[in-house]
Structure 1
Amino acid sequence: MRPVVLTPGEREQPAWIPADTLREVRERAAEGATVLVRLPAPLDAALAAAAVYRRAGAGVFVTEHADQVRLALEMTDCLSGTRPPALTRRGLA
């Protein structure tokens, strides 16, 4: 499942289950639920939290930094092997 990134004013689906801790995210994701996480306001904290929560199984993120978080989630998925990279280059020296 591709991650969904929302800004604080956007509408959430009733089927999404909110989680506040990493343990809750893992448990709910293991049950097969779509887990919603609200990220902290500072950009660096939001990016770090998004990567960790995505790795734990969260699928929906609410943040003020939607574009930056979306890129961080795509990178996390690429590094996890669940999404192919958008662009690959072979460096020749």
Structure 2
Amino acid sequence: MRPVVLTPGEREQPAWIPADTLREVRERAADGATVLVRLPAPLDAALAAAAVYRRAGAGVFVTEHTDQVRLALEMTDCLSGTRPPALTRRGLA
């Protein structure tokens, strides 16, 4: 499932289950639920939290920094092997 990134004012689906801690995210994601997390306001904290929560199984993120968080989530998915990279290059030495 591709991650969903929302701004704080956007409407959330009732099927999304909110989680506040990393442990809750892991437990609820292991149960097969679509987990929603709200990210902190500072950009650096939001990016770090998004990557960690994504690796733990969260699928919906609410943040003020939608574009930056979306890029961080795509990078996290590429590094974890769940999404192919958008561009690959072969380096010749």
Asked if these proteins are the same fold (TM beyond 0.5), I'd say yes
Unpaired segments ≥5 residues, structure 2: none
Query: Could you tell me which residue of structure 1 aligns to residue 50 of structure 2?
Result: 50
Unpaired segments ≥5 residues, structure 1: none
TM-fit CA distance, 1:59: 0.1
Deviations 1:5-49 (A, max 9, x none): 000010000000000000000000000000000000000000000
| Structure 1 segments (4+ residues) deviating >3 Å | none
TM-fit CA distance, 1:91: 1.4
Counterparts of 2:7 and 2:67 in 1: how far apart (Å)?
A: 10
Counterparts of 2:19 and 2:90 in 1: how far apart (Å)?
A: 40
TM-fit CA distance, 1:67: 0.2
SS in 2 for 1:20: coil
SS in 2 for 1:5: strand
Query: Could you tell me which residue of structure 2 aligns to residue 74 of structure 1?
Result: 74
Percent identity at matched positions?
98
TM-fit CA distance, 1:92: 1.6
The alignment covers a number of residue pairs equal to 93
TM-fit CA distance, 1:61: 0.0
- The normalised TM-score by structure 2 is 0.99
Deviations 1:58-84 (A, max 9, x none): 000000000000000000000000000
TM-fit CA distance, 1:85: 0.2
Superposition CA RMSD, Å: 0.4
